[in-house]
Each structure stands twice: as C-alpha cells, then as structure tokens.
Amino acid sequence: MPQRATLIEEQGCSVRVVHLDRLTQARAAALPPRELERLSALYRALGDPGRLGIVLALQEGEMCVCDLAAFLGVSESAVSHQLRRLRDLFLVKTRRDAQCLYYSLDDHHVEQLLTVGLEHAGE
C-alpha cells in the first residue's frame, strides 16, 4: 500500500495552493486563442500517419502526387486530399514544371519540427 500512496502524491499536490507568480508568468506567455488554434491544427495535421508519411518523404526532396501515392501505397486522390490540408497549413509548397506539380516542405521550420519530434520519440 505505501507504493500506491507515493504514486498518488507524485501525481498531484498534497496541499492546494495557487502560486500567483507562476500563474501570472503562464498567463503572460499564453498564446492568443487564434494562434493556439493554428498551432493545434498544425499538430493535428502531423498527428495523422498518412500526412506525417508525406511530410517525412518530402524531407528527402520534392515529389509529385504520383511519386507520393506510389511511395505510400494509396491512391493519388487520397494523397491530393492530404496535400491540400498540408498546403493550407503552410507545411508544404508547390512548384510547377510544365504539367507536373511538385511538392516540397514549405521551409526549414517544418524540417525542424520533424527532427525535434523524432528525437523526442526516440528518447
């Protein structure tokens, strides 16, 4: 029984006290609701295995819908749908070459998100 009591103490406060200095600091650093929603949408997008697979594939360089569909083993329509969502969130960008549309990561920040996420998951 002592192990369970220790576990409960580790999960919460034994004395209910609001630390005003910490609360003030957290409120000052809090994101406005609109930014919070955008950040949440970004993480939701990367939380989908299909979209994450696309973004990880694009780390190696630009690819067209046909390339990505073959790589993921899904239809081109499914890939296009996922790419639209990723493009709306500025995670990927396009480049047209004649009739072919190539996708790549929007900027180095997307690659940084992936790198930090993979490092954290590997710990």
Domain boundaries along the sequence of the chain: 16-121
Q: Quick: pLDDT tens for 51-85.
A: 999 999 999 999 999 999 999 999 999 999 999 99
- pLDDT interval class at 6 (50, 70, 90): very low
pLDDT, greater one: 3 or 12: 12
Nearest to 100, CA basis, from 58, 70, 60, 62 = 62
What is the reported pTM?
0.79
36 CB contacts (<8 Å, ≥6 apart)?
30
CA distance 61 to 70: 15
Just give the CATH number of 16-121: 1.10.10.10
- pLDDT interval class at 10 (50, 70, 90): low
